[in-house]
Structure 1
């Protein structure tokens, strides 16, 4: 039996001791190792399979970690983690207390920059390169690997624009696989496609116009070719750009054939790639699908409805509208700022725009929300998917800040439906003569109702609801965490003493309901799946202080810390939003 090469690679130092002819063999082993682990443990698959040879060549040719390597969209970096001392614990990837699914500075000296969101690598690596010049370290290399369509983001161009007039020793590698999570879109994609099929960009080379030395395209699966390119590039000072062509999902036929599904496929058979059946029959729909299907229903009856998403048509389920009404649904690429201002522009012309964007990604367009939408009071409908904890993707992806960062913005309505029926009715209500922008937040994962597709009902903006009568303690929940609150109350002995209110809205608050509540209860608990600091509970505290209520108030939510990866059950327990913890808090309050 042939001896494994990968099992003897504990760092890039070991890698560099190999002869070049053994590197393709190592690539096969590394690819199989990734497939075998992800098949059972789940995670991001296609992106890392596509850069196996590139990863090996980078660590072989450059003196990492002294040479600084920055990955963009960190789900490309599984091979990087395995080759940099984390092979034996890679099976803990994305698990509680295990490896992060993305590069993370506190995890390894080889992870030079934390990356979970896209298009940050050029700016970060440029910052490192300029710092090296200031320290007199002129021979140090700085490499940014931009992949999964991240080059189309505005921030990537900001970095390129600055780098082109610097003397920084920066190498930008474009991992061009023509797909992010969904297929890439836009004029830049068309330009790059021309480049890779043999149209040699000459005078119109956009990269050379930005003062970069442009090389490529080269085959990203040819290790020898990559090493030759790196040897040449190391001799050239200043900003340079290498265009590398790769296949997302390389080495697993099904992942190559269905690159969208195999971006993060769940569990599958390692040898064949065959997906294992998920138990979904008879279960409630995912919230994203309730959004996507409801939008199609609404768009059929209202031709002014528009759907917009930044590179997440599958993840947000806007794909349903893109299929049904392709002329009225737009994937604008990884460009959250553009998505928000595009929505604002269309809203000025009388269109009803649903901008579907993950809570964590709306952070990237905060100025546009304020400057382009809220100040002008344009009735854009922000559909904030993945609001709350998201599980194994960890700190970079939890949607826990949106309540706090949106609550302070004038003119903006913030709603959080407690279930799928409420979400559907909010989406319906938002297209009826809306006077202000609105953010509707809903979580990742499945809902709680099979009967979600009910007749539409117009909701009153800013109206809460009493769900359960009680005598001593009032619990006010916001959003889908209402289900855990309901189960918690049902589990305690003195359940008749606990009232349960659904706030429905963070802004405007239902002040009539709150006056009634504070007049009746001396003990109040708020529960939200968002940051406690500045969140919904803070809004209730402010209301109580403003109106001189003396009730004792306890706020439950996400504490003032970044929550790492883990499954949802584990994370709820950590932040004490699980049923048992909520019940315990209620019992303590009752005593």
Structure 2
């Protein structure tokens, strides 16, 4: 295509083996071309931009120095791996990123042998790399494991748990810290590269190993003293004392955009035999593309954009508000008169709407970093001391803190409020980010209240409900994207716990909807009514506690009852079936059908295609009812054999 950048050197590189045929002097040009190719590709597909731009030189250097795929290069989170995909045989498909049938936006084992470990959640790389390294060691198999971690991922405790356990891996484990957000050791200009080359070189390592051997030969007190003197002296210059304590030999900081320096340091690290090593690489998020450099947060994830201007194609605008913003703005308004409200997020302030709250109440907003476990227990402590904490976390990320939800919140019956964003399917982000399981994992817990709004106005009422609910934990789940366009209430009202509502009344069929599938349930009712099948539609509002009175009434007055939810098996449908079984409501021939997400991890695609694949749209509801009644598409009863 004519709009693609001119990349003569990159055109010669399909796999890392091709890269290793180049001279070191050619690598800066290759990095420049790789960066332009990535910008061009993401402008067409949308996706994560800033993080990948920051690791272009690191990607080139890592594949140049290490023998991938025999050496395992593991990218934390995976959204920084677009340049890696281009360099590992997938350039011809890079413009299918995040599209139906195209490349995943994250690393994926089934996609390439160069993706040894799939990742889309943060802070898993070091643990996985340690597994590869130890497996190679035990199997006496050559090969190293290299974990590239950064973009805030070191704020999660799991990374430190892995490092604390890494000594047994020896020199088979290398961790590259891509420091694009916070400075663990202050950069000091060109000195940082020369220092990194020095401390990773054989000239430095050889006498250090000799000193260690001599120290071990000394009596214990002198051995300990000698070791600490060497350790802290180096730490004063390099900032690596913390990593030393975790069993790593620290190298850095290194300029992550000087590809020659990176290659030299990584070669020294590769050839060293001194134990697990951590290379501290300082990068700039969005490097090489001015709009992304100047606004790293807005260009972390992007929709399609114009390369020249940087303007993102966000559509005409002026539509209904996003659910996350309704949550944040409603909570901020309630906090104006309720000083006990506190908002907590785990590194996703804008994604959850907590930024709206923080703008008005900065001293009551807490971003704890990528630390969901801590976020939940922190909130439990606040609740135990009489505050009203709201924990705003994507549904898929709350999975990481399930033990804390059970042990620290539910068992103690503490009134922590959970706002679970991105509940249900999430389009291009795919299975790793779909919030499919929260109903199954929360509705089984004693003491919990679990809600789901059918529109943005209902969400505002549910936020108010959460505020005043002080008798135990309470959660609300809501989807990614915009609302239905209904007016928002000036003063949200608290809902009665465990009470649903009838949206429209009929006599033969009852559709029990939870959450935003209500719009499709209403469309299905229109179609069923047109076939002469009078249909009731109920908005359950609460998955727990269920509205027993409403459900019992509908089950005893209708021939078919269908539940609809955007969640995995084990959600509201399962609990409705349990209620019907416990109370004998199906004994008189009532037909109950449950509609939910399929028992599979759905591939990334456009949301409308995902809903069709999941079979939870209006036509599928109609089909389910007709099959239950054994009537054809015209509403005429089929002849039974």
Q: Shared topology, TM-score over 0.5?
A: yes
What TM-score results when the alignment is normalised by the length of structure 1?
0.95
Instruction: Assess if the C-alpha contact under 8 Å between 1:469 and 1:496 holds in 2.
Output: no
Task: Determine the structure 2 residue equivalent to 1:510.
Answer: 547
**Aligned partner (choices 332, 336, 339) of residue 375 of structure 2:** 339
Instruction: Deviation per CA, 1:15-42: give whole Å up to 9, x if none.
Output: 1112222211111111111111111211
Gap regions ≥5 residues in structure 2: 193-234, 632-641
206-215 or 494-503: bigger deviation: 494-503
Shift of 1:580: 2.7
Structure 1 distance, partners of 2:406, 2:314, is: 44
Q: Structure 1 residues 2, 470: CA separation in 2 closer, same or farther (over 3 Å shift)?
A: closer
Q: Structure 1 residues 192, 472: CA separation in 2 closer, same or farther (over 3 Å shift)?
A: farther
**Aligned partner (choices 506, 519, 523) of residue 487 of structure 1:** 523
Instruction: Deviation per CA, 1:202-236: give whole Å up to 9, x if none.
Output: 68720112121100000111111011011100122
Q: Structure 1 residues 527, 339: CA separation in 2 closer, same or farther (over 3 Å shift)?
A: same
Task: Determine the structure 1 residue equivalent to 2:448.
Answer: 412
Instruction: Assess if the C-alpha contact under 8 Å between 2:171 and 2:277 holds in 1.
Output: no
Task: Determine the structure 2 residue equivalent to 1:183.
Answer: none
Instruction: Deviation per CA, 1:419-441: give whole Å up to 9, x if none.
Output: 11111111112221420101100
Shift of 1:3: 6.6
**Aligned partner (choices 101, 121, 127) of residue 123 of structure 1:** 127
Shift of 1:468: 1.1
Instruction: Assess if the C-alpha contact under 8 Å between 2:323 and 2:481 holds in 1.
Output: yes
Structure 1 distance, partners of 2:348, 2:612, is: 30
Question: Do residues 87 (structure 1) and 91 (structure 2) align?
Answer: yes
Shift of 1:344: 0.2
Question: Do residues 465 (structure 1) and 501 (structure 2) align?
Answer: yes
Question: Do residues 290 (structure 1) and 332 (structure 2) align?
Answer: no
Shift of 1:48: 0.5
Task: Determine the structure 2 residue equivalent to 1:542.
Answer: 578
Task: Determine the structure 2 residue equivalent to 1:274.
Answer: 311
Instruction: Deviation per CA, 1:246-277: give whole Å up to 9, x if none.
Output: 01011110100000000112121112323335
**Aligned partner (choices 217, 222, 227) of residue 263 of structure 2:** 227
Instruction: Assess if the C-alpha contact under 8 Å between 2:238 and 2:251 holds in 1.
Output: no
Instruction: Assess if the C-alpha contact under 8 Å between 2:75 and 2:119 holds in 1.
Output: yes
What TM-score results when the alignment is normalised by the length of structure 2?
0.88
Instruction: Deviation per CA, 1:360-408: give whole Å up to 9, x if none.
Output: 0000000000000000000000000000001100010000000011111
Shift of 1:524: 1.1
489-498 or 360-369: bigger deviation: 489-498
Task: Determine the structure 1 residue equivalent to 2:174.
Answer: 171
Structure 2 distance, partners of 1:412, 1:553, is: 26
Q: What CA RMSD, in Å, does the superposition of the two structures yield over aligned residues?
A: 1.8
Q: Structure 1 residues 277, 463: CA separation in 2 closer, same or farther (over 3 Å shift)?
A: closer
Question: Do residues 432 (structure 1) and 468 (structure 2) align?
Answer: yes
**Aligned partner (choices 467, 470, 475) of residue 511 of structure 2:** 475
**Aligned partner (choices 8, 12, 15) of residue 11 of structure 1:** 15
Structure 2 distance, partners of 1:314, 1:342, is: 20
Listed as ranges, the matches of 1:66-77 within 5 Å are 66-77=70-81
DSSP-derived class of the 2:428 partner:
coil
Shift of 1:416: 0.7
Larger radius of gyration: 2
Question: Do residues 110 (structure 1) and 114 (structure 2) align?
Answer: yes
Task: Determine the structure 2 residue equivalent to 1:186.
Answer: none
Q: Structure 1 residues 194, 346: CA separation in 2 closer, same or farther (over 3 Å shift)?
A: farther
Instruction: Deviation per CA, 1:459-490: give whole Å up to 9, x if none.
Output: 10110111111111111010111111112222
Task: Determine the structure 2 residue equivalent to 1:451.
Answer: 487
Shift of 1:169: 1.4
Question: Do residues 147 (structure 1) and 150 (structure 2) align?
Answer: yes
Q: Structure 1 residues 214, 16: CA separation in 2 closer, same or farther (over 3 Å shift)?
A: same
Structure 2 distance, partners of 1:482, 1:331, is: 33
Task: Determine the structure 1 residue equivalent to 2:299.
Answer: 262
Question: Do residues 527 (structure 1) and 556 (structure 2) align?
Answer: no
Gap regions ≥5 residues in structure 1: 179-188
Instruction: Deviation per CA, 1:474-523: give whole Å up to 9, x if none.
Output: 11010111111112222342365111111111110011111111111231
408-417 or 1-10: bigger deviation: 1-10
Instruction: Assess if the C-alpha contact under 8 Å between 2:552 and 2:585 holds in 1.
Output: no
Structure 1 distance, partners of 2:584, 2:619, is: 32
DSSP-derived class of the 2:79 partner:
helix
Between the two proteins, the alignment pairs up a number of residues equal to: 578
Question: Do residues 578 (structure 1) and 613 (structure 2) align?
Answer: no
Task: Determine the structure 2 residue equivalent to 1:243.
Answer: 280
Shift of 1:190: 5.8
Instruction: Assess if the C-alpha contact under 8 Å between 1:248 and 1:255 holds in 2.
Output: yes
Q: Structure 1 residues 193, 521: CA separation in 2 closer, same or farther (over 3 Å shift)?
A: farther
Shift of 1:2: 7.3
Question: Do residues 442 (structure 1) and 478 (structure 2) align?
Answer: yes
Instruction: Assess if the C-alpha contact under 8 Å between 1:133 and 1:168 holds in 2.
Output: no
Instruction: Assess if the C-alpha contact under 8 Å between 1:165 and 1:211 holds in 2.
Output: no
